[in-house]
Structure 1
Amino acid sequence: MPLPSGIRSRFVDDINGLRMHVLEAGFETKGRPCVLLLHGFPELAFSWRKVMPQLAAAGHHVIAPDQRGYGRTTGWDGDYDGDLNSFRLTNLVRDALGLVSAFGYRSVDAVVGHDFGSSVAAWCALVRPDVFRSVVLMSAPFGGPPPLPFNTADAPPKPKHEDPVHRELAALPRPRKHYQWYYSTREANADMQRAPQGVHDFLRGYYHHKSADWKDNKPYPLKSWSAGELAKLPTYYVMDLARNMAETVAEQMPSPEAITANQWLPDRELAFYSAEYERTGFQGGLQWYRCGTSGEFIGELQTWSGRSIDVPSCFISGKQDWGTYQRPGVYEAMQQSACTRMLGAHLIDGAGHWVQQEQPGEVSRLLLRFLKQATERAQ
């Protein structure tokens, strides 16, 4: 594992049924304030390697796990027909709580989540603000818990709502499909793990397509959750109906010269990702998407209907990241109502979706500034 100096790899047993693989920095001295970093898809704890030393140098104990379904963490069920229940958001929060407790902390200064890890971080802060005393959401804004049906006692019962957008996407002149629902299909894992170009080149194309290096990433807010608006998203979000993800990103493969020139993800670092995903497959991460698209766990999340994130919060994303806007209105709702103590929303130029890898210096600066502000507000 090509890790910078000051980061160690270790395992922690008995974390909510998992043997959890963790990267750790700032472990040399006891009593440091703790920061928990949660990665997204298709990444690993390794995605935080560039910011961990800077947080540790500023006096923090930094913990970054391979989350349930990923990397060297074991104890999860990777079978498509296996236990989807264990991947629901509240159990992922339980994973985070268990890890923090195992390290001897009653609370952490901040939980920081990127991509799908942003959702876990948001729910950590919403459900246990006593433990997760501040939160940084990266590349995936949080719009709040799902609402409960309201004022319906004297109204006639309504049929179960079915989102027509998928049928409408498929009926467009250029037929399309949403990537999260594709990721929920039985075929998605094999499409990627057995990609014709190999896992390494698949990931190279995927990371390139969603980065600032792909020059057509020029995001802007969409007007609505409708087929016509969603079709404006790049094909890594709203795919051509007949193509899988390996075929989608193969069309945008960077040139050999561009790969050689890549400084934020050189091939020797990408090789670690590709080796891990060749070994484990992608299904563990895809289970997270299935939990969301199935709708099975909305009822549980409605327990917190009407609640907001009331600890200090911050949002960081790449200026060239469509993830900020992929769900219309959520970026605005996060700032207006879902997070009541938001100290900043930062869009970093020169970064796409992989913001902490593409622009680690600026991300580290913003994280340290936020941690200082959150601590001062708490005093």
Structure 2
Amino acid sequence: MTVRAQARVNVAAISRNVATLSAAAPGSAACAVVKADGYGHGAVAAARAALSGGATWIAVVTAREAEQLRAAGLTEPPILVMGALSTEELDIALAARADIVVWTEGMLDAVSARGGGRVHVKLDTGMGRLGTRDPVRATGLVRRAEADPVLELVGAMTHFATADERGDAFFGEQLGRFTAWVGELRAAGVNVIAHAANSAAVLRDPASHFDLVRVGVGIYGLDPFGVDPAAQGLEPALELVSWAAAVKPIAAGESAGYGRRFVASTDGWVATVPVGYGDGWRRGLTNNAQVLIGGRRFPQVGTVSMDNVTVDLGPGTGVSTGDEVVLLGARGGERILAEDVARALGTINYEITCGLLPRVPRILHADGAPV
């Protein structure tokens, strides 16, 4: 280790995951979602890897994210900004030649007043956030965009609320509403790219694929269903590693960490690992996580502090100062997944990688080769 902790990102895994998801949606273009700094993996690197894996579109949420990608040299692929935009943000997005999502007449007018741009009309089929719930109004927006000489109507879209909850009925209700609306547009001769599916929907139902699929969490090797990425043919692209900065004996009755939340019941050894909630390793993992050292599992014990955690090494493990400590990743047949950590925290895998803070450098590689 050359730093206290690092997130190692395998861009080759991202490329392969895109190819896997694309194969699950034959006939549909793949749009790689790299919002929130590529779900914590690095937006620019993730976008480039996704394009090399077969994606032809990129999606983000903010105007600045689109601007960043263009500035990094990603000048060719269409970039879809999926989020709500202020007046100032709309100017930035249009300057970045990004596609804009609209769901009101005022939004169309704002794009038109700035000289035009590429727009996607969003129907809210049940997510309850952005988009119009009224398919008649959505169709009116489509017609209005078609009629405006400075607007280019590109897409018709929606977003699923429960695609990752297999067996629920609401997914089918949303899909039915969107399918009916798209069918009406097609029957009226509207030439538009229809898109709805996220990673979970891609794997769940081919009827959701339409012309374009927006794959996000799955391209990073995170299971859209929150269980096991290997079950979906996906490989985690990020591992979080640190090192044993101190290895010291601990006697029965002695403690480690703030608040004495770990008190040794027998004589043994503890390691201090320089990573903490200041790096995004959540305090809720106090006495509630495991790490890998030398391919073996050890319990993380004591309070997670801003900068350090402690590990119970037992009575005699052979761990030495300087040994690698894996908080997310696989070694020697053992693995710790973001899904495992998410279950311990009562959250989702997205939050584990997105929550890694900038203090943790991202180290890019392709199957171990530096990039």
What's the TM-score once normalised by structure 1's chain length? 0.26
- Greater share of helix residues, 1 or 2? 1
Larger-Rg structure: 2
- Greater share of strand residues, 1 or 2? 2
